[in-house]
Structure 1
Amino acid sequence: MEYTQLGRTGLRVSRVVLGTMNFGGGADEATSHAIMDSALDAGVNFFDTANVYGDTGRRGWTEEIVGSWFARGGGRRDRTVLATKVYGNMAEGEAWPNHDKLSAVNIRRAVEASLKRLNTDYIDLYQFHHVDRDTPFDEIWQAVDVLVQQGKVLYAGSSNFPGYKIAQANETAARTGRVGLVSEQCLYNLFERRAEMEVIPAAREYGVGVIPWSPLQQGLLGGALRKEREGTSGSRTSGGRAAQALKDPVVRAQVQAYEDLLDEHGLEPGEVALAWLLTRPGVTGPIVGPRTPEQFDSALRAAGLELSPELLAALDEVFPGPGPSPEAFAW
């Protein structure tokens, strides 16, 4: 397994990030534990979760599963770089005032609840799951300062932030000598490349590591047409969304060209989609969210896959990016 620095920090993390969103609803506890064991054995040390992950009516379940895995001992916690998130409403139904978003009071409440579910006394990377337009960054950083001083949080990151919010967050932090954001978790893959216009340039400018989520675009880049022909696309959300996307003839033609190209090279679509992200400037590592050990094994193969310059150029022809900013939208 290859490792890299997380953004501008001294923290070394694996270039494959184990996403746990499917733990609970998609994979039971035993399967989830087996996947985490396999990840650690393979050298994957970077695990990502969120306080809201779980199944319908059971938010927090995923953190509990990770926590029960840590409780098994064997140095699991010490060997894991643990990332979780704060923002969403943890209650069912409408959020009670101050039980969501990024106010200081909710950050304090949320981190204590996550620590309990995760069965740990600290979080390596605490991520803001979404922009909170109502809470100033001065307040957010003050709340994070307290957690850092208490030893409950080591680093802070963002998720789903636009470029200007990454800049705003880190400029606010810099004015008072704080570290600021060290990572940004964003939607980025071969099919969805809008992050290249503003988010990734901002992240690179501020030394923020980029952690792409949905690297297979909800299954679209994982051999969706082949699975359609074989009748193995499944009925879960990712398969359903890929099927919906394929109803667009332009999208269908792109995916067909993608799969045909990789068939010529004898390569698996999902593995190439992950390997492509590992070639992108600024990317720390993509988040893979397996439901089975076999899916995780496929992600590991992708980490060792080298794509030729000719294949990378051909992929750009199938899924062209927006180009550099600001030229992508200006002269």
Structure 2
Amino acid sequence: MAEGILRPLGSSDLRLSPLGLGCWQFSKGRGLVGKFWPVLEDSVIRDIVRTSWEGGINWFDTAEAYGGGQSEEMLADALSALGEAGRGAHVATKWWPIMRTAGNIGKTIDERLRRLKGWPIDLYQVHQPYSFSSAASEMHAMAKLVQQGRIKHVGVSNFTADKMAEADKALREHGLRLVSNQVKYSLLDRRIERNGIMEAAKELGVAIIAYSPLEQGILSGKFHSNPELVKQISGPRKWSSGFKPEALNRTRPLIDRLNELADKYGASPSQVSLNWLIHAHGETVFAIPGASKPHHAQENVNAMRFTLSQEEIGELAELADRSKR
């Protein structure tokens, strides 16, 4: 792996690259959520993981829900294909809580470990805040797994500020801390800055892991330069309001500025958008863009090769705010 700038994940001892690789697209078309992406060949998955690793990304985010464990298996195989050089890679995965209780966490951990084929779980996350148990009960179950040495750190996903505080309080009873909250966050979706989640994360020392960091590809600018591409979108993504003509018109000033900054830094609008995410709040925010082709992975890693100025970060935030008015 190329040496990059690593940062601590929340209060943990994990030192991770600001960008990780989101692995939802490794689901092989299995299950309900797996159909969101086209089926990728095993060789393509290996190339995506290798390109990410060699470019400086040292952690990979998957989940039980991604193809019912298929993404975990594909990731494990791709990491193993790196050989001895890839032994320092970190894996984050998630427990699916819907229609379950906290008792299921301990009952299903062996299946998660089996799917990951010997790769340790550095970060185990509760995928949604909805289960038949409280956040505190879930954290007590997670703490037991840490004590047993079956996982290393505990995170959550899509938790509100209050639930983050509840989770962290429960973990403290075991001498642990909540490490991360994975939420939707991008230049065009900054709700966590207004609903207390970002503030709570900073107060608790919890890392924010941003998913959908390019807002379904809108921040790439390709749909602004060629609106006809919207007609080619397949799957649920095509119904996103951001692809409507009036929305593209509202966000055009932001995209124009992203293009200008891309020219300045020898980057792309997508890379500038990702760079904004990982620098706008110090070291609090990590992001997990996906990649369905190796060149997408290369695009991701290049987003860590420069740093926007504070003035540019503020300017982009203001343009993003105006696009919502």
Tell me the TM-score normalised to structure 2 length.
0.85
Measured against aligned partners, the alpha-carbon deviations of 1:73-111 in whole angstroms (never above 9, x if no partner) come to: 62366311110001256xxxxxxxxxx53422x112322
Point out the structure with the larger helix share. 2
In structure 1, the partner of 2:8 is 5
Q: Which residue of 1 aligns with 2:216?
A: 218
Partner of 1:129: 127
Is contact 1:46–1:83 with CA below 8 Å preserved after alignment? yes
**C-alpha displacement at 1:170, in angstroms?**
0.9
Give the CA deviation at 1:274: 0.3
Q: Deviations over 1:134-172 (max 9, x none)?
A: 313443233223322321101000000011100111122
Aligned length: 303
276-285 vs 184-193, which deviates more?
Answer: 276-285
Q: Tell me the percent identity.
A: 30
Please identify, of 281-290 and 69-78, the stretch whose mean Cα deviation from structure 2 is larger. Answer: 69-78
- The CA distance in 1 between the partners of 2:236 and 2:255, in whole Å, is 18
* Number of the residue aligned with 2:23: 20
Structure 2 CA distance for aligned equivalents of residues 263 and 22 of structure 1? 27
Q: Are positions 1:264 and 2:260 aligned together?
A: yes
SS of aligned partner of 1:147: helix
CA contact (8 A) 1:224 1:233 kept: no
Unaligned regions of 5+ residues in structure 1, if any?
A: 90-99, 322-331
Using the TM superposition, give the Cα deviation of residue 43 of structure 1 relative to its aligned residue in structure 2, in angstroms: 2.4
Relative to structure 1, is the Cα distance of residues 223 and 312 closer, same or farther in structure 2, using a 3 angstrom cutoff? same
Contact 1:219 1:239 in 2 (8 A): no
2:129–2:135 Cα contact (<8 Å) kept: no
Question: Which letter maps to 1:252?
Answer: L
Matches of 1:75 and 1:9, distance apart in 2: 25
What is the CA distance between 1:190 and its match in structure 2?
A: 0.3
CA contact (8 A) 1:225 1:256 kept: no
- Report the Cα offset of residue 186 of structure 1: 0.7
Provide closer, same or farther for how the CA distance between residues 311 and 121 of structure 1 changes in structure 2, counting only shifts above 3 A: closer
* Residue identity matched to 1:290: A
Quick check: 1:45 aligned with 2:58?
yes
Pair 275,210 (structure 1): closer, same or farther in 2 beyond 3 Å: same
- Report the equivalent of 1:75: 84
Counterpart mapping for 1:196-207 below 5 A: 196-197=193-194, 198-207=196-205
**Which aligned pairs between 1:1-331 and structure 2 lie closer than 5 A?**
1-23=4-26, 24-25=28-29, 26=38, 27-54=40-67, 59-72=68-81, 74-75=83-84, 78-88=87-97, 100-104=99-103, 106-120=104-118, 122-132=120-130, 134-174=132-172, 176-197=173-194, 198-226=196-224, 228-229=226-227, 231=229, 234-237=232-235, 240-241=238-239, 244-247=241-244, 249=246, 251-265=247-261, 266=263, 268-281=268-281, 282-320=283-321
List runs of 5+ in structure 2 lacking aligned partners.
30-37
Alignment partners' CA distance in 2, 1:236 and 1:273: 23
Relative to structure 1, the CA distance from residue 109 to residue 256 in structure 2 (aligned partners, 3 Å threshold; closer, same or farther) is same
Aligned to 1:326: none
Q: What is the letter of the counterpart of residue 101 of structure 1?
A: R
Equivalent residue letter for 1:194: R
1:147 touches 1:153 (CA, 8 Å); kept in 2? yes
Q: Given the superposition, is the C-alpha separation of residues 284 and 156 from structure 1 closer, same or farther in structure 2, using an over 3 Å criterion?
A: same
Task: Answer yes or no: is the 8 Å Cα contact 2:121–2:151 preserved in 1.
Answer: yes
SS of match in other structure, 1:278 = helix
Q: CA separation in 2, counterparts of 1:107 and 1:161?
A: 17
